Amino acid sequence: MKNTLMLKVDPHNPDPTKIDIAAEFIRKGGLVAFPTETVYGLGADALNPEAILALFEAKKRPLDNPPIIHIADRSEVCRLVEEVPKKAERLMDLFWPGPLTLIFKRSNTVPSVTVAGLDTVAIRMPKHKVALALIRQSCCPIAAPSANLAGKPSPTTAQHVFEDLNGRIDVILDGGSANIGVESTVVDLSVDPPMVLRPGGTSFEALRRVFEDISLHPFVQAEAELTLGNTRSPGMKHKHYAPKAEVILVEGNVPAIIAKVKDLTEFYKLKGVKVGILATDETQTCYTADIVRSLGSRFNMELVARSLFRLLREVDAENVDVIIAEGVPSEGLGLAVTNRLRKASGYHIIRAG
């Protein structure tokens, strides 16, 4: 068991001496959790195969699901990829640094284990000052999946990382809460037209304004487990965002959702089952259950995205048996929220109205 060091850093003006302590661990093949604008990442030197193996081990992550490589300077892309398509240049101009990950054909510089044996590589330039400082001071690209145990909700605070990974990693840089709260959008540019493999912090609408023909992989809006022979994104087939409790997602129009959530709550109460409800500002007063929490207003998907993973963890920590969650509109960040809620429910979706 490792002695995990927790270091508080100012998210806007990180202390270089603290960053350097963390960077030293990365350079020596260690593991450092750090804040990004989306969620916390667990970083290791992307070009050091042993460090990457330790990263998979610490997260208990299946070896066939590759992490995203984080860079601080656009010139880094060139040595990691075979070619930079024109369309990628455009997206990097518009959305980097920020919550957008691009998939390229990879170069031989990237060790095979870092990309799980694929011929492509996922790259993103985060916007968070702590993440950028860590990458720069480590002097290497940093591979970083979300800093949670595999299958759990992604961490949006250092405390979440601590709960999952204390004793398994070297350092946690605590830079406060992640601002966006859902992971980056993953766009595949090794195909043309480009395809969104995972919805996230960059909205599909914003990408559509740049490339009219960009498409959504069927998995993005899947309402059931898809059996994809040739999954474009390996992460698609693994269990995700799952709390201990059973999650039931109720989708449909708002009055029908309210009626269905009430019915389900009554049903479970009669059975003596402890119920938590993830409602919204507009609906939360309609319910009486063991725990009722609001994700935020149905008219503000930014706020809902920010609180989603935190609330999944918080409600789960109350040891409820069942979490009933309301579906939300799929516009803007709502597409990512819907995708995460569906996965968290293991596609246990009830359609109301």
Name the residues that contact ligand TXA, by CB under 6 A. Answer: 36, 38-39, 41, 65-68, 99, 101, 103, 115, 118, 120-122, 124, 126, 144-146, 183-184, 186, 197-198, 232-235
Cβ closer to Mg ion: 260 or 310?
A: 310
Name the residue whose CB lies closest to Mg ion: 146
DSSP state of 283: T
Q: How far is the CB of 272 from Mg ion (least distance, A)?
A: 34
For the bound state, the minimum distance from the C-beta of residue 7 to ligand TXA, rounded and expressed in Å, comes to 18
Between 130 and 291, CB nearer to ligand TXA: 130
CA angle 21/38/168 to nearest 5° reads: 45
Which tokens go with 147? 């800093």
Of 53-61, 101-109, 142-150, 273-281, the segment contacting Mg ion by CB under 5 A is 142-150
* Shortest Cβ 320–ligand TXA spacing (Å): 25
Beta carbon nearer to Mg ion, 131 or 292: 131
Residue of this chain nearest to ligand TXA (CB atom) = 235
Which residues, other chains included, contact 55 with Cβ-Cβ below 8 Å and sequence gap of 6+? 31, 42, 44, 61, 67, 143, 145
Structure token pair of residue 285: 């007063």
The listed partner (ligand TXA, Mg ion, none) that binds 185, CB under 5 to 8 Å by sort, is none
| 67, interface contact from Mg ion, ligand TXA, none, CB < 5-8 Å by kind | ligand TXA
Give φ, ψ of 95 to 5 degrees: -120, -5
Of 54, 36, 68, 43, residue with least CA distance to 171 = 43
Pairwise CA distance, residues 324 & 277, whole Å: 5
Q: Which is nearer to Mg ion, 61 or 260 (CB)?
A: 61
Nearer to ligand TXA, 131 or 278 (CB): 131
Compare residues 181 and 276 and give the one whose CB is closer to ligand TXA. Answer: 181
Distance (Å, rounded) from C-alpha 49 to C-alpha 352?
A: 48
Residue 351: φ, ψ to 5°: -95, 120
In b/e form, how buried is each residue of 264-294, taking b as 16+ CB within 10 angstroms? bbeebeeeeeebbbbbbeebeebbebbbbbb
Residues 6+ apart with CB under 8 A from 170: 2, 4, 5, 25, 30, 31, 32
User: Cβ-count burial of 93 within 10 angstroms (0-12 exposed, 13-18 middle, 19+ buried)?
Assistant: exposed
DSSP label of 215:
E
Smallest distance, ligand TXA to C-beta of residue 164, A: 13
For the beta sheet containing 322-326, the strands, ordered from the edge strand earlier in sequence to the opposite edge, are: 291-294, 275-279, 322-326, 246-252, 349-352
Kindly tell me which of 115 and 173 has the beta carbon lying closer to ligand TXA.
Answer: 115
User: How far is the CA of 123 from the CAs of 13, 65, 157, 267, in angstroms?
Assistant: 25, 14, 23, 47
Q: Is the distance from CB of 76 to CB of 87 less than 8 angstroms?
A: no
Stretch that binds Mg ion, among 71-79, 143-151, 171-179, 282-290 (CB under 5 A): 143-151
Residue 325: which of Mg ion, ligand TXA, none does it interact with, CB under 5 to 8 A by kind? none
Minimum distance of Mg ion from residue 8's CB (angstroms): 24
Partner in contact with 311, chosen from ligand TXA, Mg ion, none, beta carbon below 5 to 8 Å by kind: none
Binding partner of residue 307 among ligand TXA, Mg ion, none, CB cut-off 5 to 8 Å per kind: none
Output the CA torsion sign for 263, 268, 271, 276.
Answer: negative
* Closer residue to ligand TXA in complex, CB, 218/353: 218
- Residue 38 touches Mg ion, criterion: CB under 5 A: no
Minimum gap (Å) between residue 21 Cβ and Mg ion? 25
Q: Which is nearer to ligand TXA, 118 or 292 (CB)?
A: 118
Q: Find the binder of Mg ion among 146, 202, 280, 294 (CB under 5 A).
A: 146
CB of 128 to ligand TXA, least distance (A): 9
Binding site for Mg ion (CB under 5 A): 146
